A and B are shown apart, each in its own frame.
Chain A
Amino acid sequence: EPEVTQTPSHQVTQMGQEVILRCVPISNHLYFYWYRQILGQKVEFLVSFYNNEISEKSEIFDDQFSVERPDGSNFTLKIRSTKLEDSAMYFCASRRGAGVGTQYFGPGTRLLVL
């Protein structure tokens, strides 16, 4: 069964460093998302992406964050200059079509900023 994959599973970085989190969505899906969960808090929406552009973003998704679909398969989240409070589990999700269809989640990347 097709699934969303994410790499790396864990990443440790120093404050101020750039990180790129990678996702491979399900191949025939058109809508892509990033969510994150800070330890002990709710999963929260960051950004959605469709037709090679951002369709929605939350207040969290400031200028330090960017997303890209560099080729036909990968979907990346870049954090330009990480802060301690960026430490979280980052989930990628994808959905096939518009409307209420299921968003399929990857296993997450746990990011620790020291």
Chain B
Amino acid sequence: ILNVEQSPQSLHVQEGDSTNFTCSFPSSNFYALHWYRWETAKSPEALFVMTLNGDEKKKGRISATLNTKEGYSYLYIKGSQPEDSATYLCASMNNNAGNMLTFGGGTRLMVKP
């Protein structure tokens, strides 16, 4: 069973602040790392899928990096806005675990205006 962990569990920032949070996952047999943004009562929204060590992906003010050797990914939000308030989930795929996603516990971000 994979163990995927995210930190911090929750985060309060002021509008305009930049922030980042971490996802750690087992590096052995790594296949892919997914990031999702989940607002209450809505579908989790896919942000990034990353596979290669050193991958960096960007979508607007949100970006992510991947280190498969040490088993972590960072998600960065530049200039946070109240609409960025959501839970950010990471999920790992492993070569030995088929195509299932193993999720971390999420980081709940609250951006105060």
Contact = CB atoms under 8 A, between A and B. Distances in A.
A19 interface: no
Interface residues of A, number: 26
B46 A91 contact: no
A100 B46 contact: no
A86 B55 CA distance: 38
A56 B101 contact: no
A65 interface: no
A102 interface: yes
B13 interface: no
Q: Which of B34, B43, B105 has the most CB of A within 10 A?
A: B43
Q: Could you say which interface size class chain B belongs to?
A: 20 to 34
Given A42-B105, A100-B31, A100-B51, A91 B100 contact: no
Contacts of B93: 100
Given A100-B32, A100-B93, A105-B36, A48 B43 contact: no
A105 B98 contact: no
A32 B61 CA distance: 31
Given A101-B49, A102-B49, A48 B98 contact: yes
Contacts of A22: none
Contacts, number: 57
Contacts of B41: 107
Interface string B98-110: 1111111110000
Nearest to A101: B49
A48 B100 contact: yes
Contact of B98 (A3, A35, A56): A56
Contact of A55 (B43, B98, B102, B105): B98
Given A45-B101, A48-B100, A102 B34 contact: yes
Interface string A93-105: 0010010111111
Interface of B: 4, 31-32, 34, 36, 41-44, 46, 49, 51, 89, 91, 93, 97-106
